[in-house]
Amino acid sequence: MPRQSRLDAPGVLQHVIVRGIEKRKIFLDETDRHLFVKRLADLLMSTETECLAWALIPNHFHLLLRSGICGLANFMRRLLTGYAITFNKRHNRVGHLFQNRYKSIVCEEDSYLLELVRYIHLNPLRAGIVKSMDELDCYPWSGHAVLMGNREFEGQVTEEILGCFATRKKTATDKYRHFVEEGIAVGRRTDLVGGGLRRSRGGAVAGQQVESHDDRVLGSGEFVEYLRSEKRLGDRLASGISLNQLVERVAEYYGVTAESLRRSSRMPMIVEARGAICYLAVRELEKSGTAVGSVLNMKRSGVSLAARRGEMIVEQNPGIKERLFGC
């Protein structure tokens, strides 16, 4: 079954999970963490994206975001590409740092906001990185310490979360901490990282109508229907551009015609441009090899080979994606 495109509507709440390739560590030392958090904070401010919770674990991280003016896809592309380049230079390595496809789930705020904040902020404790709530209160690599007032992180939304508990800050902080501590006994919440919950209207009774659902959404059937009515669940590309638009932009980037990229050629510039299109279409736009091949007049196997060449081209020219997909 083909993968669905990600939902990328500004203003919606999204739980994002990013893992290291082959479960490898993506943060090897404190400098890595500082560099990542600095990049994250800068992007949050420049793109008007709101971060409501976050946690860094050695081989993955969680973010709870409301995407801003550039959308989630652009935000994550800039965050992951920039950090991967920095990480590889620091540690003298090459190749991918992250799994090919990060996970993002659109979440219904009224039902899940506080549960997600608690779940994400308890990750360091569940992972054994810290041993107690007292340690978690000061752990510098999650948003919990920021909400407790023990750390600062520009770009994190704090007043909104604390305001859910009380109007006075001290009271709100105490109640928030108690709420988080209660979550320890709950354990791992698989329902908060899966999305697409299926529920029957009025209960799980045979013959009853199943609520609307979507694998990319954590929320009620009514919430899914609302997103559909707002046209936020369409199958539009994560980047907001079509394959034909990608071809046109790559053609402009290389100074050739779009039509020349739709024909087989041995000219080095055309070969390179077609490789970049194949890689970006498959990796960034999440299109199938068949769909890409239909636009470039290539077989599916040829798209796969060209995409491998394109990966090297894009990695050697990290600015190309910003030129093609930037806000």
- What's this model's pTM, rounded to 2 decimal places? 0.67
In a domain? residue 252: yes
Residue 125 has pLDDT above 50, yes or no: yes
The pLDDT of residue 83 is 96
In a domain? residue 230: no
Q: Which residue range forms the structural domain that includes residue 113?
A: 13-182
CATH number, domain with residue 74: 3.30.70.1290
Which of 145, 161, 182 is the endpoint of a domain?
182
In a domain? residue 192: no
Which of 136, 161, 182 is the endpoint of a domain?
182
Tally of domains within the chain = 2
Confidence at 241, pLDDT banded by 50, 70, 90: confident
Question: Over the stretch 65-110, which tens digit does the pLDDT of each residue have?
Answer: 998 777 888 899 899 999 999 999 999 999 899 987 788 888 888 8
The pLDDT of residue 240 is 56
Tell whether 297 and 167 lie within a shared domain.
no
Tell whether 171 and 289 lie within a shared domain.
no
Q: Give the span between the Cα atoms of 145 and 136, in whole angstroms.
A: 7
CATH number, domain with residue 271: 1.10.1750.10
The pLDDT of residue 106 is 87
In a domain? residue 213: no
